[in-house]
Structure 1
């Protein structure tokens, strides 16, 4: 990546030589170019506390490392990519202060740079959490691809921080400029959001779900999960169960309620998701034992230590459609499962997960299906 301050070597995480997706895009380049032009005009660089929100793979904070920025991210993978990219470019990790969306933000923010997230709810939550630290002199610049910035995006900045305008598009990217107004009366933060589940979906019928902002389908139960809940494995044989890519944790909670003797491990790469899963599990008074882990799938889980893995894999990485995450999840599940252990997967029918499972496990069994979804079971031999 070419920046106004030199060349950077960047990669996504986990680093895969076959991955053709870059660790930055035109919106990152546009923001950095704007900051360099601003520095040239004013004869000085950024000063004070610099906070970068939503930096997807660490490209922004690596380029701005001389400013000792604070990075705030919901993604474990983004944090790991940032550490790797700082090391790759001979920047000490301590130069950048890494925070999650669940950590308290800095008390004062002098420069706020926002990489617009896919989730409008996550943007809303973060702006409301950061607003008390923003003052009249804070420099606020957002960035994103044109297709990611909508009228609703600009309205959030306007409603929470102050008057907002946009730049001209450049390489299909756009900047957002916001002038903070400390006197603005901000709305209350509605996150986390809770709702009661409908009847007819097994052990969690009528139970409570808690969602932090940014979790998939945070305001309702998505139809794929609803279908999965109706076809979860019955019986009490599984002692160690994993809700892999747990989201709000409703699937693992259902297993815990149906099988109180089981230990349930909730895993997701999203800090917001794992916080939601823990809140959902706690809200329903599940009698068994649970562990909540933010991480890269089942990395770190001992091989052969799991009886059952339940998985609804994502097929998007930000704006890119890819099966890389699903493949990593399936591979990690096979390693973690004991012989005879099972991986249960819910997916859109057209994704063809049965082919991947047969390649990896040597078998794939259809548990249930409808015109849109299939539930598949693979057994480790």
Structure 2
């Protein structure tokens, strides 16, 4: 059986859980099948980057059990979904290992496949890690839905490979092929920038990169009004701007900075070091606040995401509100910034407690909700 045939058998049984699941969000699509077809013969050792919920890895293992797979999935929910799907399908994962985006993932690789990331920064870092550490004869196959692809993706690959071409489209999907790596090309990751004295460090896939996104910037205008807290949490921390800013303003505070993204948490760790607060901020990669005890925080700070991969969804924020409510002590507060058109206040009132508006501009609202 080929990996494509295995995909045809299993894709309808794949789930996104514990990631958001709704009727219009899928765990696999035709781009996964096209990547497998475009990869050609699968060697005994393969590197996979960006396999969202396991469609690529599990199809390969179903077709060729025992294939050694080195895997990088940025969201921890992707890792857990893959493991859940493997268990439900009865697929052995003993030859699959997860890695950071580094030499342990791509060292000596002859074939690297995966889903194209959303951002060019992420693609540049991925291409660089492959080109710097893979075998000189490595073949790279990265695919996606055509509506999310741009010519700039070809340019990002050409910065690290001498030969780049686009394959034929199929099912509204396409794969990009790259060969002949150029080690050491391009600027190194992570990168950094300074915003009003606050240093941000960012890997390629981190939300907003080294920029201070507008929602976070607006929330931080109220930093002097936030209550002092012994134990605070930056939930969905991204590059760690909110945690670092709060820690600098409140030397007595101990913080947890939590995000599901490996790029985010790796960036946030470096942001804390760059701002001199690493001893007081613990960065964790987690699905929401799953690893935090009930009633353990005085304050939660949140700029909730509204993307799951390339899809826009309003299902993420309520889950994060519920996590915040669980970990807050009675009387603790959740400070949230959100796009005003999303009208989150009734949900905050219901899930967390009494909510007051702190500030509002043309795009964003900042609220504080008190845990009852």
- Residues 214-233 of structure 1: per-residue CA shift (max 9 Å, x gap): 11111322221111111136
Preserved contact between residue 159 and residue 186 of structure 1 (Cα < 8 Å):
no
Q: What is the CA–CA distance in structure 1 between the aligned matches of 2:193 and 2:242, rounded to whole Å?
A: 15
Q: What is the CA–CA distance in structure 1 between the aligned matches of 2:198 and 2:21, rounded to whole Å?
A: 44
Preserved contact between residue 272 and residue 278 of structure 2 (Cα < 8 Å):
no
Q: 1:120-139 residue pairs with structure 2 within 5 A?
A: 120-139=120-139
Preserved contact between residue 256 and residue 288 of structure 1 (Cα < 8 Å):
no
- TM-score, length basis structure 2: 0.91
SS in 2 for 1:273: helix
Q: What is the CA–CA distance in structure 2 between the aligned matches of 1:362 and 1:219, rounded to whole Å?
A: 34
Q: What is the CA–CA distance in structure 2 between the aligned matches of 1:157 and 1:18, rounded to whole Å?
A: 33
Of 230, 246, 250, the residue aligned with 1:239 is: 230
Preserved contact between residue 245 and residue 269 of structure 1 (Cα < 8 Å):
yes
- Tell me the residue number matched to 1:81: 81
Alignment length, in residue pairs? Answer: 363
- Tell me the residue number matched to 2:361: 370
Preserved contact between residue 58 and residue 82 of structure 1 (Cα < 8 Å):
yes
Q: What is the CA–CA distance in structure 2 between the aligned matches of 1:287 and 1:268, rounded to whole Å?
A: 16
Q: 1:294-333 residue pairs with structure 2 within 5 A?
A: 294-333=285-324
What is the Cα deviation at residue 163 of structure 1? 1.3
- Tell me the residue number matched to 2:186: 188
Preserved contact between residue 145 and residue 173 of structure 2 (Cα < 8 Å):
yes
What is the Cα deviation at residue 169 of structure 1? 1.9
Q: 1:30-69 residue pairs with structure 2 within 5 A?
A: 30-35=34-39, 38=40, 45-65=41-61, 66=64, 67-69=67-69
Q: What is the CA–CA distance in structure 2 between the aligned matches of 1:129 and 1:304, rounded to whole Å?
A: 41
Preserved contact between residue 199 and residue 271 of structure 2 (Cα < 8 Å):
yes
What is the Cα deviation at residue 362 of structure 1? 4.0
Q: What is the CA–CA distance in structure 1 between the aligned matches of 2:129 and 2:183, rounded to whole Å?
A: 14
| Structure 1 residues 135 and 85: alpha-carbon distance in aligned structure 2, compared to 1, 3 A threshold | same
Preserved contact between residue 48 and residue 110 of structure 1 (Cα < 8 Å):
no
Q: What is the CA–CA distance in structure 1 between the aligned matches of 2:261 and 2:21, rounded to whole Å?
A: 24
Preserved contact between residue 145 and residue 173 of structure 1 (Cα < 8 Å):
yes
- Tell me the residue number matched to 1:174: 174
Where do 4+ consecutive residues of structure 1 move more than 6 Å? none
What is the Cα deviation at residue 299 of structure 1? 0.6
Q: What is the CA–CA distance in structure 1 between the aligned matches of 2:21 and 2:235, rounded to whole Å?
A: 25
- Residues 162-214 of structure 1: per-residue CA shift (max 9 Å, x gap): 21111222221111122x224x465233321111112xxxxxxx132211211
Preserved contact between residue 20 and residue 315 of structure 2 (Cα < 8 Å):
no
Q: What is the CA–CA distance in structure 1 between the aligned matches of 2:186 and 2:156, rounded to whole Å?
A: 13
- Residues 301-331 of structure 1: per-residue CA shift (max 9 Å, x gap): 1111111000001101112111221111111
Q: What is the CA–CA distance in structure 1 between the aligned matches of 2:51 and 2:342, rounded to whole Å?
A: 29
- Tell me the residue number matched to 1:23: 27
What is the Cα deviation at residue 54 of structure 1? 0.8
- Tell me the residue number matched to 2:15: 11
- Please identify, of 206-215 and 51-60, the stretch whose mean Cα deviation from structure 2 is larger: 206-215
Q: What is the CA–CA distance in structure 2 between the aligned matches of 1:11 and 1:233, rounded to whole Å?
A: 43
Q: 1:228-307 residue pairs with structure 2 within 5 A?
A: 228-232=219-223, 234=225, 237-286=228-277, 289-307=280-298
Q: What is the CA–CA distance in structure 2 between the aligned matches of 1:83 and 1:103, rounded to whole Å?
A: 23
What is the Cα deviation at residue 100 of structure 1? 2.8
What is the Cα deviation at residue 257 of structure 1? 1.1
- Please identify, of 130-139 and 77-86, the stretch whose mean Cα deviation from structure 2 is larger: 130-139
